[in-house]
Amino acid sequence: MFAIAIDDDKTLTWCEQPSPGPLEDNEVRIRVAWAGMNRADSGQRAGNYPPPPGASDILGLEVSGTITEAGPSVSPLKTGQKVCALLAGGGYAEEVVVDQQQVMPVPEGLGLREAAALPEMFATAWLNLFMEGGLDHAVSKGERVLLHAGASSVGSTAVQLCRAFGYPCFVTVGSDEKIERCKELGAEAGWNRHNGSFVDAVKEWGEGVDVILDPVGANYLADNQRVLNADGRLVLIAILSGRSAELDLGRMLMKRQRLIGSTLRSKSPQDKGAILDELQAYVWPHLTKGELYPLIDRDYPIQEAEKAMAFMENNSNVGKILLSVAKDH
């Protein structure tokens, strides 16, 4: 098969590589139509985010495509079915092999292009808002949410989930234009990070927040604590600004604040399957009805992965960047 390789100079090259090996009983082989691009791919390329033990060292954490082979224990998925999948690696390739628990049928009414944008960003947003962050998907508890990097693929998805399940949200982004885009998706208000600290703006909006979804890390920790309410949850999903910062333990203690570290990639197939089961139960109906949708900024041929990643690393996108792999999708 062909797949993306990382050359010694970090260039991304589409070239021939070995196909994934024989299937285990509970695995499927997918002919990839589209692959989603994520910040984790950029981190792995730079040598800062290696794949979990046993995972493919090819970039790519999500794909859509068609099942071409299924292990004897696989059910109800079947050969010929159009699906999307959450991966630990290997998505920038013509085919992948993955545990059936990490595979979902394409929601009714969506195509393979849209489906490729679903697994990573919807699983990440759902896991960290509702499972780790403690929001209730059944009845809104009136809590308020702060989303950093609100125009990113995960951020734009989190904005939509907050709107769909009745949670007001505030976003921080890199431009006034992105604030307006997030408001169109359902955010109530936002702040341009280039204008300084977000603390006053958040407090003016709602006297603090109950859940924060933060991919930034170190530089935002102190201000996050200042706007996080009593019994609030700060869910850290990346460390784009660094891994070390000073934590105000007194504030954390007196306000009963919780700091939660969360990564999706290293979770087991069983744990990923539990997240995807919730997505199919609670989110897929909204996608089918058109009440939620994957926000896609643009797509590139897989051979232009280098160009696509440069665009993402420049923080130019609002939503997901996709790579087109198969010509017959």
- Same domain? For 17 and 91 the reply is yes
Distance CA 240, CA 234 (A): 16
Residues 171 and 213 in one domain: yes
Rg (CA), the chain: 19
Q: Are residues 164 and 251 in the same domain?
A: yes
Contacts of range 252-260, beta carbons closer than 8 Å, 24 or more positions apart: 252/225, 255/228, 255/229, 255/230, 255/231, 256/230, 256/231, 257/225, 257/228, 257/230, 257/231, 257/232, 257/233, 258/231, 258/232, 258/233, 258/234, 259/234, 260/132, 260/133, 260/233, 260/234, 260/235, 260/236
Buried b (16+ CB within 10 A) or exposed e, 171-180: bbbbeeebbe
Give pLDDT tens digits for 288-300. 999 999 999 999 9
Q: What does DSSP assign to residue 27?
A: E
Domain contains 127:
no
Residues 224 and 272 in one domain: no
Q: Report yes or no on 179 lying in a domain.
A: yes
Render pLDDT for 75-130 as a digit per residue (tens, 0 to 9).
999 999 999 999 999 999 999 999 999 999 999 999 999 999 999 999 999 999 99
In a domain, 55, yes or no: yes
For residues 98 and 185, membership in a common domain is answered with: no
| Shared-domain flag, residues 73 and 170 | no
- Spatial CB neighbours of 89, under 8 Å, sequence gap ≥ 6: 44, 51, 52, 55, 56, 57, 58, 59, 60, 61
Same domain, 227 and 283: no
329 located within any domain: no
Cis, bond preceding 52 (omega within 30 deg of 0): no
Same domain for 199 and 281, yes or no, is no
pLDDT, residue 329, reads 56
In a domain, 159, yes or no: yes
pLDDT of 316: 84
Strand residue runs (E) in 23-155: 27-37, 62-70, 82-86, 95-99, 103-105, 145-148
Mean pLDDT for each 10-residue chunk of the chain (329 residues)? 96 96 96 96 92 94 98 96 97 98 96 97 97 94 95 94 97 96 96 97 95 95 97 95 92 97 94 97 96 94 97 89 85
Domain region containing 112: 2-118+267-324
CATH assignment of the domain containing 138: 3.40.50.720
Asked if residue 281 belongs to a domain, the reply is: yes
- What is the chain's mean pLDDT, rounded? 95
pLDDT at 312: 93
Q: What pLDDT is attached to residue 328?
A: 61
The CA distances from residue 287 to 37, 108, 126, 217, 295, in Å, are 21, 8, 14, 31, 12
- Into how many domains does the chain fold? 2
On whether residue 222 sits in a domain, the answer given is: yes
Beta bridge partners of 13: 5
The bridge status of strand 169-173 relative to strand 145-148 is: parallel
CA distance 94 to 178: 34
Last-in-domain residue among 261, 281, 303 = 261
For 26, other C-beta atoms within 10 Å of its C-beta total: 16
In angstroms, the CA 148 to CA 132 distance is: 16
Same domain, 88 and 148: no
Residue 93 DSSP class: B
Domain-ending residue, one of 245, 261, 277: 261
Together in a domain, 222 and 305: no
- CATH assignment at residue 309: 3.90.180.10
> In this structure, what are the phi and psi dihedrals at residue 68, rounded to the nearest 5 degrees?
-105, -15
Q: Where are the alpha helices (DSSP H) in the chain?
A: 39-45, 112-116, 119-126, 153-164, 176-185, 199-206, 221-227, 249-255, 269-278, 284-289, 305-313
Asked, for residue 124, whether it belongs to a domain, the answer is no
Question: Looking at 209, 238, 261, which one is the last position of a domain?
Answer: 261
Name the burial class of residue 224, with classes exposed (0-12), middle (13-18) and buried (19+) by CB atoms within 10 angstroms of its CB. buried
> Do residues 100 and 171 both lie within one domain?
no
193 and 216 assigned to the same domain: yes
| Kind and range of the H or E run holding 16 | strand 12-16
Rounded Cα gap, residues 295 and 287, in angstroms: 12
